[in-house]
Amino acid sequence: MGAFLTVHLTINSTILHGQEAFQTAVDGLHLLAKVGLLTAVEIVFIFVPILFHAVLGVQIWLSGQMNVAAHTYGGNIRYTLQRIAGLITIAFILYHLWHVHWLGKPFGGGSFDPHDAAATAAAALEPWYLRLLYGIGVLAAVFHLANGVWTFLITWGVTVGANSQRWVGYVCAAFGIVLGLAGLGALNGFGSLSPEKQQERQATGHMVVRVDDAS
């Protein structure tokens, strides 16, 4: 799941290099669809692991006792934030699947078209409040991943000493910051392509490419 999130946000961030770069990245991913493997890969390597992780996470949430108000040390705060970020991520994933994935089409969603990637992504994220909600969801997912990896390495005895835990924590924090910036950068890139932004640029006399004409 961590690999998927990293690849997904990295592909989205190619919009910062232009619409053609993003379309090329999307086309590369959807080569799996041409050989009939995309759905199987999504189910086996994305949906099933996410479902398992979500069920396990909710079980941990219900069985655990958060006492961060009484014990405000760093580890306890991270434990609480990890649980909160996990719940936000679950809600975000469900909305995201309905909003842009083909699974959402029967229910009025599924607004993303991989054959017209930049234009449909920009149109789906046109309202500023959606980009804000997506930003919150992306940051929650990235924090849950980065902090989760750091905690996993400690729990499973990979980083046993205080020094190794500290340095791996720096690495995980740096990874999370870079990935979070990539996700937020992508949202900003799609926002700059929205019809509303295009109209603002036209009003100020700048030459623009209409989203409707994007390929």
- Take residue 165 and report the two structure tokens written for it: 């835990």
E strand or H helix that includes residue 20: helix 19-29
Q: Residue 66: helix, strand or coil by DSSP?
A: coil
User: Domains in the chain, start-ordered, CATH in brackets?
Assistant: 2-213 (1.20.1300.10)
- CA 23 from chain centre, in angstroms, equals 18
Residue type, 91: A
Nearest to 127 by CA among 194, 198, 202, 201: 194
pLDDT by residue, tens only, the chain of 215 residues:
899 999 999 999 999 999 999 999 999 999 998 888 999 999 999 999 999 999 988 888 888 777 766 666 777 788 889 999 999 999 999 999 999 999 999 999 999 999 999 999 999 999 899 999 999 999 999 999 999 999 999 989 999 899 999 999 999 999 999 999 999 999 999 999 966 665 555 556 544 444 444 43
Residue with structure tokens 């992780």? 53
Query: Which residues are CB-contacts of 13 (< 8 A; sequence separation ≥ 6)?
Result: 182, 183, 185, 186, 189
- CA 110 from chain centre, in angstroms, equals 17
